[in-house]
Structure 1
């Protein structure tokens, strides 16, 4: 039995990320894209203001972070709280759904970071055999 069939039989979800038109595919893209994943992991550490989040997610542009936050908010993963102060204060935090996703992502991040020596060794070996 193949993995997809096993998954389908074990978990009868009404959505299938492997189906082209399934809406879960868009959410998966938001969550697993470079900026979405990093944003969720950063917010897993606690509530952050926009500029704090931008500093934490090193390399993201203001525009990309804004687009990422909008997508994650639309998907119900991030909550945006605007305070009626002068100047305005906007805080971002994970929703309960967002916490569930971020918990899984941080596990993956921890695993990748803990195995980077193996990855770097594999890259070197690959490059050496291909003359790169």
Structure 2
């Protein structure tokens, strides 16, 4: 602010798309280090690579954009979504069996992307 710059930060969830996870295995595995706790807390977020690219373009083109944006398409918060995610990330991670799921309280979405939705809706995505 003291330099009169407007900064934009787009913080994406786990980036998914055709072979994205396999081509960026180290980054993907780093993100997944806390996946179990993120899942339990309702903050395991994923974002499609095409959507993330479009958001970056919109943020660049809209001169009024500033600040931090949380960018995700989905919050993984069910057993079925967890298995689907594991299939997308195979062979990086193994597909969990039914007995691997612990009985734990799963919270509804704990993070919001309301600010991002305003950016997208304002630009008629």
Please report the TM-score for the alignment, with normalisation by the length of structure 2.
Answer: 0.25
TM-score when scaled to structure 1? 0.24
Bigger share in strand: 2
Which structure has the larger Rg over C-alpha atoms? 1
Which structure has more relative contact order (CA 8 Å, sep 6+)? It is 2
